[in-house]
Amino acid sequence: MSLAAYEQLVRLAERELELARAGRLEEVAALQAERDEHVASLPPRPPAEARPALERAAALQQEITLVLAETAQAVTEELRRVDRGRAVARTYAPAGGAPSSTVDRSA
């Protein structure tokens, strides 16, 4: 197998990182599937000449993992804010939970 296959692995990782940084998670997932297929097509034992490309792909993968972890943390924090907002909004609901059938038209 030629080194081009390993260089393609680097290109896929670079694109995946770009998408992850842009928050385009559905596209990241699709590209991960493509990458997995590509990796499955590689021989179990890479040639020595592929080492630089594999090291670059591994470094990119670490960065992708970090970006995705940061994104997951941000989403978790946002969900907590939404939950707090909902809890506060519920305190304004009328007793019994049924919405009021009257509207204040004095304004």
- CATH number for the domain running over 4-89: 1.20.58
Q: State the pTM of this model.
A: 0.72
In the chain, domain spans = 4-89
Q: CB 63: neighbour CB atoms within 10 A?
A: 16
Alpha-carbon gap, residue 72 to 74, rounded angstroms: 5
| CB-based contacts of 67, cutoff 8 Å, min separation 6 | 17, 20, 21
pLDDT tens for the chain, residues 1 to 107: 689 999 999 999 999 999 999 999 999 999 999 999 999 999 999 999 999 999 999 999 999 999 999 999 988 888 888 878 777 777 777 766 566 566 777 76
